A and B are shown apart, each in its own frame.
Chain A
Amino acid sequence: MTPAIRLGGVHFNYDRRPVLSSFDLSVDSGQILSLLGPSGCGKTTVLRLILGLAVPERGTVCLGDDLVSESGRLLVPPEDRGLAVVFQDLALWPHLTVRGNLGFGLAARGVPRPEQASRIAAILKRLGLADKGTRYPGKLSGGERQRVAIARALVLEPRALLLDEPLANLDVTLKRELLPLFRSLFQERGTTAIYVTHDLREAASLGDRIAVLEAQRIVQIGTLGELRENPASTFVRELVEDLQNWAS
């Protein structure tokens, strides 16, 4: 089966400094992949390449059977890739209500108004936000904003959802509440997702598989158990040990 997302032989420099080199990654349809790595290792760059917000200098980016970027050429612009994203700062449009935020992408993709309304109502209800539709983002709590950002992405029924450390600024209690919610939402919808984080606990609790990005490429992909049994690098070993110490 063709992977939902595939990056092959990708090279990307930022300010002449290599961020990714000979980078390969593939994510199967319906799979949740946690992309883990130290700060500044290029995790966000991987998302930006998939989204079409950046173009690889060499290599290819494919979504399903579609070649969307290739060696300095953007073949499919971001708006035509059928993806959705949740950025670290959530990027909720402050001048639009919750309903306006959710409706924006649907309108942009030409979804008829009645269908927009029913999809928005359904997802808001599913996320416990049914009474928040007319609120502006500035009037919501941190957890509510987080759920709105997820709702805004999922309401589009994207071919894949990319999340760039969306929980980084939340406290532990909210993370504990939201991570299982995200997982159940993704599983019940069969959403293909890449979840970028530098926290192994988050990566383990959300992802089917964990990919560790280090030194410009993926050094290991596997389940938490596989990482624990056979760490591919010192960084992976330290991460696993940290997790064990924390758990004990």
Chain B
Amino acid sequence: MSFPRGRWQQHAIIGGAGALFVALALLPLLWPLVELAGRGADSVSAGLGAFASAAPWVLLGRSLVLSGAVTGGALLLGTPMGLLLARTDIAGRKLLLLVHGFPIFLPPFLLALGWFYLFGRQGFLGGEASAGLLFHPFGFTTILALTFAPVVTVLVALGVWNLDPGLEEAARVVARPARVVTGILLPAGLPSIALASILVFALSFSELGVAMFLRLEVYPAAIFSRLGGIDYDPGEAFLLALPLVPVALALLALEYGLFARRPFDVLGLRNRGRKPLPLGAWRGVFSVACWGFTVLSLLPIAALALKAGLGGGFVEAGRWVGGSLVNSLLGAGLAATGIVGLGAALGYGYARRLSCARFFDLVGVMAFLAPAVLLGIGFIALWNRPATQRIYGGIAIIVFGYVARYGIIGIRAVAVAVAQSPVSLEQTAAVFGAGFARRFVSIVLPLHRRVLGAAWLLAVVFCLRDLETAVLYYPPGGEPLTVRIFTLEANGPEAVVAGLATLHVAVTALVLVAGVLLLMRGERS
């Protein structure tokens, strides 16, 4: 791309968006370091004394191991699912992919709650033994592996779809479908599998709700406990957050090392119209296995609905929900608008390789991959001041947090779309007299309006499912629905909690269906 340099409109739009995004996402991530530097040597050395004992390191190691186990489990389940659903003639594979993928959009904590209603001591199918397994690292690992397996499935499917059809057809001429899958499709999906591993590891390491619900000690939960209750010690929380900085940087280095040169290959869709590979006599077996696994992963949702229905939770839920549903929808809607707004400018810059745009993308990746508690701690330190109480005490802080954590959704979605559209469309507009602002508004944005719509929808759903970020600093009376359910779970009636959880699932499904229908309706050939 060789648009002329020194264009003030371009610098103003992309630079302005970038500066705003850096202020929202990078400053909070770095703030623990700033706090530490400002404390003075004595205070720092006293605080760092906490790290002299083995306890925090053991806890950190335990969290890393658990996240590794979750990642391994999700890969084991999601990789074959991705390959089968993307390229074989499994019965009802399109519907299966949609149903299987749905739990990605739900807070893992809700699914854990459903598993509890199934296999807890007094669960529908539970007893002492199943409850023991549930409240154990095995239960934590299994629940999260089942929850995050669709992340792997979807990314592997995208990676396989992206393969040049000619490569697969050349293999089909000389090999049976099984060998094509293992010898051609699986290696083609390796970059996607690697990306999925990073994502699942980051998501499970950030996971707070499931660990706290299952009373499992993990590092982020230890930090969270310093921000409230009997362990209240925000100073120590800041210090405990420090080891998360290298964890975030390591994940960032992995993501960039593996994908910085080809972030769009993984997400591109080269050809979805290929004829699926026939499974022959195995079709029935694999179809039953895939559908069985999908139904299994949806069982906790059914358990939530059943629990609520049997206990009158649906009727009571209306009384307990308060303003949390409106807070959720409003916060998610506003944040998604911000995410898409910033993402349009920054994603465009990244796709067209404009200066600094790669740095903004890096900030977005880091804010997403970094443990959510690190971002939350930074938000508290940065915004909880007398001068910024209007922001910290209202919905704005929730919106800012969502934009910071999920901003990368907008950046990457737009970058993928722009990178795949011919630059000549913009160059022609430039030659015809349009400055950058006019090109951006009249050509780039309308061309990619469906991508912007899809990114908005995805961002809304990710904000709706968020618990880990918002739970750290939600304002009084401004808690989103996930936080409401999480806080009620400890003391509230079970049926009401189940009713609210089912309401959350229903709202998410409604938003997704309505959004997808709107996007399809807006499609113009």
Residues of A with Cβ closer than 8 Å to B? 48, 51-55, 74, 77-85, 87, 89, 91, 93-96, 104-105, 108-109, 136, 138, 152, 156
A74-B6, A77-B4, A95-B447 given as contacts; is B422 within 8 A of A89 (CB)? yes
Sample of 15 more A-B contacts, CB < 8 Å, known A78-B4, A85-B428, A108-B429: A55-B2, A74-B5, A78-B431, A79-B431, A85-B427, A91-B422, A91-B424, A93-B429, A95-B446, A96-B446, A104-B429, A104-B432, A105-B429, A105-B432, A108-B434
Are the C-beta atoms of B432 and A51 separated by less than 8 Å?
Answer: no
Are the C-beta atoms of B433 and A79 separated by less than 8 Å?
Answer: yes
Are the C-beta atoms of A89 and B443 separated by less than 8 Å?
Answer: no
Q: How far is the CA of A60 from the CA of B447 in the complex (A)?
A: 35
Pairs across A and B, CB under 8 Å, 23 listed: A53-B2, A53-B430, A54-B2, A55-B2, A74-B5, A77-B4, A78-B4, A78-B431, A79-B434, A82-B433, A87-B428, A89-B424, A91-B422, A91-B424, A91-B425, A91-B427, A93-B425, A94-B447, A105-B429, A105-B434, A108-B429, A108-B434, A156-B433
- Nearest residue (CB) in A for B421 is A94
Cβ contacts under 8 Å, B432 to chain A: 79, 84, 104-105, 108-109, 152, 156
Are the C-beta atoms of B433 and A53 separated by less than 8 Å?
Answer: no
Cβ contacts under 8 Å, B446 to chain A: 95-96
Cβ contacts under 8 Å, B433 to chain A: 79-80, 82, 105, 108-109, 156
- Decide if B7 is an interface residue (CB 8 Å cutoff): yes
Are the C-beta atoms of A52 and B4 separated by less than 8 Å?
Answer: yes
Q: How far is the CA of A105 from the CA of B3 in the complex (A)?
A: 18
Q: How far is the CA of A83 from the CA of B429 in the complex (A)?
A: 11
What 1/0 flags go to B455-470 for Cβ under 8 Å of A?
0000000000000000
What 1/0 flags go to B3-22 for Cβ under 8 Å of A?
11111000000000000000
Cβ contacts under 8 Å, A105 to chain B: 429, 432-434
Q: How far is the CA of A80 from the CA of B430 in the complex (A)?
A: 9
A87-B424, A108-B438, A138-B525 given as contacts; is B2 within 8 A of A78 (CB)? no
A53-B3, A54-B2, A108-B438 given as contacts; is B430 within 8 A of A78 (CB)? yes
Cβ contacts under 8 Å, A95 to chain B: 446-447, 449, 524
Q: How far is the CA of A55 from the CA of B6 in the complex (A)?
A: 13
- Nearest residue (CB) in A for B426 is A91
- Decide if B43 is an interface residue (CB 8 Å cutoff): no
Cβ contacts under 8 Å, B430 to chain A: 52-53, 77-79
Cβ contacts under 8 Å, A81 to chain B: 431
Cβ contacts under 8 Å, B4 to chain A: 52-53, 55, 74, 77-78
Chain A: minimal CB distance from B423 (Å): 9
Chain B: minimal CB distance from A160 (Å): 11
- Decide if B389 is an interface residue (CB 8 Å cutoff): no
- Decide if B61 is an interface residue (CB 8 Å cutoff): no
- Decide if B442 is an interface residue (CB 8 Å cutoff): yes
Q: How many residues of B contact A (CB 8 A)?
A: 26
A104-B432, A104-B434 given as contacts; is B427 within 8 A of A78 (CB)? yes
- Decide if B276 is an interface residue (CB 8 Å cutoff): no
- Decide if B183 is an interface residue (CB 8 Å cutoff): no
A74-B6, A93-B443, A108-B438 given as contacts; is B431 within 8 A of A83 (CB)? yes
Are the C-beta atoms of B431 and A136 separated by less than 8 Å?
Answer: no
Chain A: minimal CB distance from B1 (Å): 9
Chain A: minimal CB distance from B42 (Å): 55
Are the C-beta atoms of B427 and A51 separated by less than 8 Å?
Answer: yes
Are the C-beta atoms of B424 and A51 separated by less than 8 Å?
Answer: no
- Decide if B435 is an interface residue (CB 8 Å cutoff): yes
Chain B: minimal CB distance from A212 (Å): 25
Q: How far is the CA of A55 from the CA of B443 in the complex (A)?
A: 24
Q: How far is the CA of A232 from the CA of B446 in the complex (A)?
A: 50
Cβ contacts under 8 Å, A89 to chain B: 422, 424
Cβ contacts under 8 Å, A136 to chain B: 524
Q: How far is the CA of A108 from the CA of B441 in the complex (A)?
A: 12
A54-B2, A104-B442, A138-B525 given as contacts; is B447 within 8 A of A93 (CB)? yes
- Nearest residue (CB) in A for B450 is A95
Cβ contacts under 8 Å, B5 to chain A: 74
- Nearest residue (CB) in A for B2 is A54
Cβ contacts under 8 Å, A53 to chain B: 2-4, 427, 430-431
Indicate the member of B422, B427, B431, B435 with the most A CB atoms within 10 Å.
B431
Chain B: minimal CB distance from A102 (Å): 10
Cβ contacts under 8 Å, A152 to chain B: 432
Are the C-beta atoms of A48 and B2 separated by less than 8 Å?
Answer: yes
Q: How far is the CA of A95 from the CA of B435 in the complex (A)?
A: 19
Q: How far is the CA of A109 from the CA of B435 in the complex (A)?
A: 10
- Nearest residue (CB) in B for A86 is B428
Chain A: minimal CB distance from B444 (Å): 10
Q: How far is the CA of A138 from the CA of B427 in the complex (A)?
A: 20
Chain B: minimal CB distance from A101 (Å): 9
Closest 3 CB pairs of A and B: A105-B432, A91-B424, A108-B433
Are the C-beta atoms of B438 and A84 separated by less than 8 Å?
Answer: no
Cβ contacts under 8 Å, B422 to chain A: 89, 91
Are the C-beta atoms of B443 and A77 separated by less than 8 Å?
Answer: no
Chain B: minimal CB distance from A94 (Å): 7
Cβ contacts under 8 Å, B424 to chain A: 87, 89, 91
Q: How far is the CA of A52 from the CA of B3 in the complex (A)?
A: 8
Are the C-beta atoms of B425 and A84 separated by less than 8 Å?
Answer: no
- Nearest residue (CB) in A for B425 is A91
Are the C-beta atoms of A85 and B431 separated by less than 8 Å?
Answer: yes
Are the C-beta atoms of B438 and A51 separated by less than 8 Å?
Answer: no
One of A77, A91, A94 near B428 (C-beta < 8 A): A91
Cβ contacts under 8 Å, A93 to chain B: 425, 429, 443, 447
Indicate the member of B4, B5, B446 with the most A CB atoms within 10 Å.
B4
Cβ contacts under 8 Å, B443 to chain A: 93, 104
Q: How far is the CA of A93 from the CA of B422 in the complex (A)?
A: 10
Chain A: minimal CB distance from B103 (Å): 35
Are the C-beta atoms of B431 and A51 separated by less than 8 Å?
Answer: yes
Q: How far is the CA of A61 from the CA of B442 in the complex (A)?
A: 29
Indicate the member of A55, A94, A95 with the most B CB atoms within 10 Å.
A95
Cβ contacts under 8 Å, A109 to chain B: 432-433
Are the C-beta atoms of B525 and A77 separated by less than 8 Å?
Answer: no
Cβ contacts under 8 Å, A87 to chain B: 424, 427-428
What 1/0 flags go to B268-286 for Cβ under 8 Å of A?
0000000000000000000
Cβ contacts under 8 Å, B428 to chain A: 85, 87, 91
Are the C-beta atoms of A79 and B2 separated by less than 8 Å?
Answer: no
Chain A: minimal CB distance from B208 (Å): 43
Q: How far is the CA of A48 from the CA of B443 in the complex (A)?
A: 20
Cβ contacts under 8 Å, B438 to chain A: 108
Chain B: minimal CB distance from A162 (Å): 8
Residues facing A in B1-53 (CB within 8 A) are 2-7
Chain B: minimal CB distance from A120 (Å): 14
- Nearest residue (CB) in A for B4 is A74
Indicate the member of B2, B4, B432, B438 with the most A CB atoms within 10 Å.
B432
